[in-house]
Amino acid sequence: MSLTQKSANKVCNGTLTKYTFTSSSLGSLETSINVFLPSSATSTSPKPVLYFLSGLTCTEDNAAQKGGFFSAAEAEGIALVFPDTSPRGAGIEGEDESYDFGTGAGFYLNATKSPWDKHYKMYEFITSELPSKLSDLPIDTKKASIFGHSMGGHGALTLYLKNRDLYRSASAFSPICNPTACPWGEKAFNGYLKGGVEEGKQYDATLLLKEAKDGVKILVDSGTADDFYKQGQLLPENFEKVAKDKGFKDVQVRLQDGYDHSYYFISTFAGEHVKFHAKFLKQ
Amino acid sequence: MSLTQKSANKVCNGTLTKYTFTSSSLGSLETSINVFLPSSATSTSPKPVLYFLSGLTCTEDNAAQKGGFFSAAEAEGIALVFPDTSPRGAGIEGEDESYDFGTGAGFYLNATKSPWDKHYKMYEFITSELPSKLSDLPIDTKKASIFGHSMGGHGALTLYLKNRDLYRSASAFSPICNPTACPWGEKAFNGYLKGGVEEGKQYDATLLLKEAKDGVKILVDSGTADDFYKQGQLLPENFEKVAKDKGFKDVQVRLQDGYDHSYYFISTFAGEHVKFHAKFLKQ
């Protein structure tokens, strides 16, 4: 195994371990992940895995420290994996200038535009390389679901909708639901993709849902006091409309009264999201 | 009311609000607090309060963001107050040189040594000024308990033992139990107090417990994988010995196997501590 352990903390009777490794999909840069194993995980009893994709500016640490997921994950016997939100240290000019592009803002896509295309391949990293790196841990990566927050909610929904064979369910807190129609998504797609927003349509959860076959299992929570929701960056209503038009009964979009975009919101519903995925992961 | 609201976040159906005010006990410096009100708190139904004192290097934010206290506080109908760990911006030479003395390290005492005695009066701040600042909020400060972590665990235990009329119960995660006998306490007492460690005996939980009348309600959790425990900074065994010698049946000292000094440890037992205090606060 090419994982290097950096730290370990006992939490909620399980263990959170930070690992680093050199990522081939991210152009041979070192990346860090946090992995939570419930106490019941052993080599003879590997556990299902739930990936959490964080939002703009975050690292692998924010959701581990503030998300409040461990109590439910321990109770359900589910492993959690928290990757970083972008490659780091690619050395591209302008990489660190914006909070919403470059470092900390990989948008879970495969960049096709130079110079970003050498390192910014978070889509390939999450869907392909990351599961292979977990092979020596007591994790059954064939039983996987995915969730995330904001940009990471966009990542969770799109990676799920594009890879129904890899993930059993998806959920999201305050996701960017329709990135081809909001400023964050337009900036990312125009920056990372040769074909700009047009090419970005393949990474738009609302458009992907239009093409989806039935059986999708999705839970979305968004807060009504979320400034980014008010600014039209998230557009859960567009996603919900498609779900209704398609008659997808297992897509729930909930607007939570008075909640904002913060980890206080995430931690409030953290246990509920873990339990949502447990239904499918433990089948 | 002289509180200035800086922000508010809905969490676990209650509200966390950050306030600032100019503190007289801290020598007219501005200080910040976070206040969690459960959704059941109203002016006609004020709620009991549980103060959380944080450890070295922390501000009013760390435990609010990472402690995991809100779900239990909402369920029990208890307000939480998170003060800062020291005055900030006193302008004293050397104030920012150490992580364990000066800024972020007020040690919940009243400094008597110049130049610290003008601002470093966290004992007076917590026991006297802070409750008076809460008077316009739906909080019943006559029903109060106190808990904390590490240096803040020392603060919680000592403030409780010195003010049994102010607080109904105390609990602590990884507290500095016997500061006159450990390097952190010796440095703090020699630095802040004219009489050094001798004067510091009045701020030593283990020594205070020796003199306590029965009826003390205390819960202490400390982790066996805590490096500061291994280094002899915490000394829960000394505190426990006194409790046993005195026959105090309502003092529990628990060594939790494999846990360290981090917020992952705190968040694991957060709900249990809130419920411990609820028993006394709701009588």
CB atoms within 10 A of CB B69: 25
Spatial distance between the Cα atoms of A151 and A106, rounded to a whole number of angstroms: 9
Please answer whether residues B143 and B166 qualify as being in contact, where contact means their C-beta atoms are separated by less than 8 angstroms: no
The confidence score (pLDDT) of residue A1 equals 52
Note the pLDDT tens digit of each residue in B227-283.
999 999 999 999 999 999 999 999 999 999 999 999 999 999 999 999 999 999 998
What's the average model confidence in pLDDT over A167-191?
Answer: 98
Taking the domains of chain A in order of start, what are their residue ranges?
A: 4-281
Distance, in Å, from the CA atom of A55 to the CA atom of B160, rounded to the nearest integer, reads 41
C-alpha neighbours within 13 Å on the C-beta side of residue B145: 27
Q: What is the CATH number of domain A4-281?
A: 3.40.50.1820
Short-list A170, A196, A195, CA closest to A185: A196
Find the radius of gyration of the CA atoms of chain B.
Answer: 17
* Gap between the terminal Cα atoms of chain B: 29
Q: Would residue B261 show up in a list of annotated catalytic residues for this protein?
A: yes
- Report the residue of chain A nearest B263, measured CA to CA: A65
Q: Clarify whether B7 is annotated catalytic.
A: no
- State how far the Cα of B196 lies from the Cα of B116, in Å rounded to an integer: 13
Q: What percent of chain B lies above the pLDDT cut of 90?
A: 99
The ipTM value here is: 0.95
Q: Give A67→chain B minimum CA distance, Å.
A: 8
Chain position carrying tokens 């390389």: A129
Of B23, B54, B150, B174, catalytic: B150
Nearest residue on chain A to B224, alpha-carbon basis:
A10
Whole-angstrom Cα distance, residue B145 to residue B277? 7
Write the CB contacts of B249 (distance below 8 Å, at least 6 apart in sequence).
Answer: none
Q: Out of B154, B261, B273, B277, which one is annotated catalytic?
A: B261
Closest by Cβ to B9, choosing from A12, A71, A262:
A262
Residue B154: active-site member: no
Inter-chain Cβ pairs, chain A and chain B, closer than 8 A:
59
Predicted structure pTM score: 0.96
Which strands sit side by side in the sheet containing A218-223, from one edge to the other? A4-11, A14-23, A29-37, A79-83, A47-53, A139-149, A170-173, A218-223, A251-256
pLDDT of residue B1: 52
Query: Each residue of A43-96: pLDDT tens digit?
Result: 999 999 999 999 999 999 999 999 999 999 999 999 999 999 999 999 999 999
From A263's Cα to the closest Cα of chain B, the distance in A is 8
CA distance B228 to B260: 9
SS3 A192: helix
Identified catalytic residue from A149, A261, A273, A277: A261
- Kindly report the backbone phi and psi dihedral angles of residue A150, in degrees, each rounded to the nearest multiple of 5, phi listed first: 60, -115
